[in-house]
Structure 1
Amino acid sequence: MKTLLPIICLLLALSSCRNTEKNDKPTITVTIEPLRYFTEAIASDKFNVVSIVPEGSSPETYDPTPQQMVNLNKSIAYLRIGYIGFEQSWISKLQENFPKLPFYDTSAGVNLIHQQCSHSHGNNGEHGIEPHIWNSTENAKIIANNICNALEEIDNKNSDYYQHKLDSITEIIERIDNEIRNIISGAEKTFLIYHPALTYFARDYGLEQISIEEGGKEPSPAHLQSLIKLCREKNAKVIFVQQEFDMRNAETIAKELGVKVIPVNPLNYNWTEEMTNTAKALCTK
């Protein structure tokens, strides 16, 4: 992080010498692509919304590029998702470097899941906060409301506009929730996933998520064997793997159990599609 600072300072100085294009919309920066989806749904054509963590990168370990830091200097607000690793590592530094930039926490009001874990999401202490709050329809409505509040504070003259957009996205979220409940009504209640990104999804719908990771690291052979035994007991039929993680251990378990490995992307910009596809995968025979 320290090695970036001289470069960042130089680029910021160069950037300040350039004239801003008159017709540019104001820019809001968010942490991840799903948060960009919700923000764009409510901000619509009033703002340009960009995410720091690009699709395909892990928000647990991502470091921003110097150019992203320059671009952040042009933003009028930063919306964070809450507790993801990138934010735990970088938010304090960003606030220090950009003291005039308002930061908004879109996790405010979410019923957070606190769990004891030895792996790190950038959390403090042994009892970590599960950070993947956006993979939940209940949480999505809270996130959307927080985004609307932030936009109204930034641009109060368009408050009615943002409230109208909030009503629209809330209807979409509720429709997705109903679709998911119908889809999974006959599904198995237990699933495996390499990295436990669907904890809130599981809570919403009374499912059980089993993580292949062992303490945030590659599972040991003994751990793999215990997982295979547990999956047989629980009758788990689906193993989810995110694109940024190695599939080999998941494939080992799948071969032993005779079940399918299904790719998922909880960081997908298209939140509605990802949520319904995840539900449909649980019904895979």
Structure 2
Amino acid sequence: MKDIRYIVLVAIAAACILSTQSCSNTTRKNRAERIISVTIEPQRYFAEAIGGDKFTIKSMVPKGSSPETYDPTPQQLVALSESEAYLRIGYIGFEQAWMDRMLSNAPHLKVFDLSEGIELIHEGKQAHGDHFHEGGVEPHVWSSVLNAKIIAGNTLRAFCQLDAANEEFFRARYDSLMVFLEETDTLLTRILVPGGDRSFMIYHPALSYFARDYGLRQIPIEVHGKEPSMSYLKSLIEVAEAEQVRTIFVQPEFDKRGAEFIAKQTQTQVVEINPLAYDWQAEMIHVAKSLSHEE
């Protein structure tokens, strides 16, 4: 079904491109704007921190959509042809499903993998209901300060390759970002003091790398990308009590009913987070404060 949708999308996009190609080529030659595409908003956060006004950064997956299952619109396929490079986050479902097909539609794109060098978490090769993680890799690599530093380094190398004349500019902004990330790590470590929650539940397991960084245990509610059964929810209630879970995280793009059911039975708090938000640091601090019950 995805292949059929893709053929339709490409046909529409191709028609749009052919009708505007001459004008678009002239526009690209005459304008100063240089466009870089990324998959999700946290990538745009880091890319803009390093790139400043040298590049315009555009995210493919819009606010409120899941990067596990999102399909690009015909307009996005047309717009992608305006980009000179694509910074992929690594293993997220959107990229696994669409990367090759997007490149066939925009073969000029230079692609950079921002997950290179990250110590990946392997979850076992399995389907997650409506999506699949290639090689069983846990794909939410950006939810970690340690990984953010690597993502920033890969972004810097990409920008220096794309625009060597501004390497000094990029490196200065990268250095400032690294100081900022060090300060963020110090702040998170202070917030997550002993005595705060060491285990937490979350509907979709998007905080695996965050949990690894700070010695926490993440307990997912969904089962391989599917809604949990009532019997499984009851077993999670027992886990929550045994692990002294006091916080259950939910994300805006997923159903909250399972989390609310567990919370009602265990007197735990349900906290909404958005790991896909643009303001990466604010979300990391929000997660930490929720676990330390500062908020």
TM-score, normalised relative to structure 1: 0.96
What is the distance in 2 between the residues matched to 1:75 and 1:164?
Answer: 24
> Which of 7, 10, 17 matches 1:5?
10
Are 1:20 and 2:30 counterparts?
no
Are 1:171 and 2:159 counterparts?
no
Which amino acid is 1:31 matched to?
T
Q: Which runs of 5+ in 1 are unaligned?
A: none
What is the distance in 1 between the residues matched to 2:76 and 2:176?
Answer: 31
Question: Counterpart of 2:27 in 1: which secondary structure?
Answer: coil
Question: Per-residue displacement from partner, 1:233-272 (whole Å, max 9, x unpaired)?
Answer: 0000000000001111110000000011000000000001
Q: Which runs of 5+ in 2 are unaligned?
A: 1-5
Which amino acid is 1:15 matched to?
T
Are 1:138 and 2:143 counterparts?
no
The aligned residue for residue 192 of structure 2 is 184
The aligned residue for residue 154 of structure 1 is 162
Question: What displacement does 1:12 show?
Answer: 1.2
Question: Counterpart of 2:292 in 1: which secondary structure?
Answer: coil
TM-score, normalised relative to structure 2: 0.93
What is the distance in 2 between the residues matched to 1:188 and 1:274?
Answer: 17
> Which of 77, 80, 85 matches 1:77?
85
What is the distance in 2 between the residues matched to 1:32 and 1:179?
Answer: 25
> Which of 247, 253, 262 matches 2:262?
253
Count, aligned residues: 283
Which amino acid is 1:29 matched to?
S
What is the distance in 1 between the residues matched to 2:197 and 2:159?
Answer: 40
The aligned residue for residue 225 of structure 1 is 234
Question: Counterpart of 1:116 in 2: which secondary structure?
Answer: coil
The aligned residue for residue 239 of structure 1 is 248
> Which of 206, 221, 227 matches 1:197?
206
Cα separation, partners in 2 of 1:118 and 1:223, compared to 1, 3 Å: farther
- Paired residues of 2:200 and 2:219 also in contact (CA < 8 A): yes
Cα separation, partners in 2 of 1:277 and 1:33, compared to 1, 3 Å: same
What is the distance in 2 between the residues matched to 1:152 and 1:211?
Answer: 39
Question: Per-residue displacement from partner, 1:106-149 (whole Å, max 9, x unpaired)?
Answer: 0000000011264335323xx51000000000000000000000
Question: Per-residue displacement from partner, 1:191-221 (whole Å, max 9, x unpaired)?
Answer: 0000000000000000000000012100001
What is the distance in 2 between the residues matched to 1:116 and 1:233?
Answer: 25
The aligned residue for residue 218 of structure 2 is 209
> Which of 40, 48, 58 matches 1:40?
48
What is the distance in 1 between the residues matched to 2:165 and 2:91?
Answer: 31
Cα RMSD, aligned residues only: 1.3
> Which of 110, 116, 119 matches 1:102?
110
Which amino acid is 1:8 matched to?
A
- Paired residues of 2:37 and 2:57 also in contact (CA < 8 A): yes
Instruction: After superposing the two structures, state which structure 1 stretch, 15-24 or 188-197, moved more.
Output: 15-24
Instruction: After superposing the two structures, state which structure 1 stretch, 17-26 or 189-198, moved more.
Output: 17-26
What is the distance in 1 between the residues matched to 2:240 and 2:39?
Answer: 34
Question: What displacement does 1:24 show?
Answer: 4.3
Which amino acid is 1:245 matched to?
F
What is the distance in 1 between the residues matched to 2:132 and 2:113?
Answer: 16
> Which of 122, 125, 129 matches 2:132?
122
Question: What displacement does 1:156 show?
Answer: 0.4
Question: Counterpart of 2:87 in 1: which secondary structure?
Answer: strand
Which amino acid is 2:249 matched to?
F
Using the aligned pairs only, state the percent identity: 47
Which amino acid is 2:37 matched to?
T
What is the distance in 1 between the residues matched to 2:236 and 2:126?
Answer: 18
Question: Per-residue displacement from partner, 1:152-177 (whole Å, max 9, x unpaired)?
Answer: 00000111111111101111111111
